[in-house]
Amino acid sequence: MKSMKSQDQAIRLWIVGSIGIDTIATRDARRENLLGGSVTFACAAASFFTKVGAVGVVGSDFPAAFLERYRRFGIDLSGLQQAAGKTFHWEGVYDDDMINRRTVKTELGVFERFTPELPESYRDAPYVLLGNISPELQLHVLEQARGARFVATDTMDLWINIARPALLKVLARTNLLTLNDGEARLLTGCFNLRACAEALLKMGPEYIVIKKGEHGALLFTRDGIAIIPAYPVKAVCDPTGAGDCYAGAFMGWLAKSGRVNLSTLRQALLHGSAVAAFGVEDFSMARLESLADAEIEARVAELRAMAAL
């Protein structure tokens, strides 16, 4: 793993979302007590490029060893709350195709009462990633982000179905929205993805990233479209958190560059694709913990060559 970021660096990016202890079953193995959650994967991925802070909640059962794993990535934990009770737990089983999965159990634990509060050291950070939590909580934490210059938002079909008015308020304050193709169609009522993107851009964001899993992603702006390939991984071990790794690495690279334009967004997405492809090669954060910066750049170079970029 790369060397830790200096602990006295200013926070450039903070990420809010879930932190969990997972049980994952695939065609080849079953693993219990895995460190998971959107904050876990996104912060680990972002840490390769910038100083990142985690905003989330864990229970009294959260192992100290898991906190130490965060620290080894250089992740700032000032925004991490600990509450009496159990940590969010998710159990899932993947089909043999390693794409589709079935949720066996979801136990919200302390996450059910989570109200994110930003430490003072996070409030002037220029980059923000609002992970997949309720739009009401996204709005609550965004109100505290006085220094935010670029806000990326993730969402899912649940919030589109049950919290659309609040979600639309979030989108009005969002610079970039990331969602998959099914969610884009659900939110807009359109089928053609270009039509979906046009409708989403009218909701407020300047940029839309529509993810298509193993087929890559589409970046839509008011000025054009970019197609970003997914790296063809030889063997997928655990797909959990791939989308969060993608978003975290993307935002981390963007924070490192300090500029937002079509060129930097394209490069950020290539780095997101590369890091996400490493993340699925082992369970939980194991592959990211052994990942080196040089490996990421080599994989980005492969992606560029594959796509003739």
| Token duo for residue 58 | 């864990």
* pLDDT, tens digit, 9 for 90 and up, residues 90-140: 999 999 988 889 999 999 999 999 999 999 999 999 999 999 899 999 999
Distances (CA, A) of 55 to 18, 137, 147, 214: 9, 12, 16, 29
Give me the mean pLDDT over the 1-25 stretch. 80
pLDDT for 6 equals 45
How far is 289 from 286, CA to CA, in rounded Å?
5
CB 136 within 8 A of CB 170: no
* pLDDT, tens digit, 9 for 90 and up, residues 53-95: 999 999 999 999 999 999 999 999 999 999 999 999 999 999 9
pLDDT at 195 over 60: yes
| Token duo for residue 3 | 């060397």
Give me the mean pLDDT over the 1-16 stretch. 70
Domains of the chain are: 13-307 (3.40.1190.20)
Q: Phi first, then psi: what are they for 306, rounded to 5°?
A: -60, -40
Task: Specify the residue for token string 């100083």.
Answer: 51
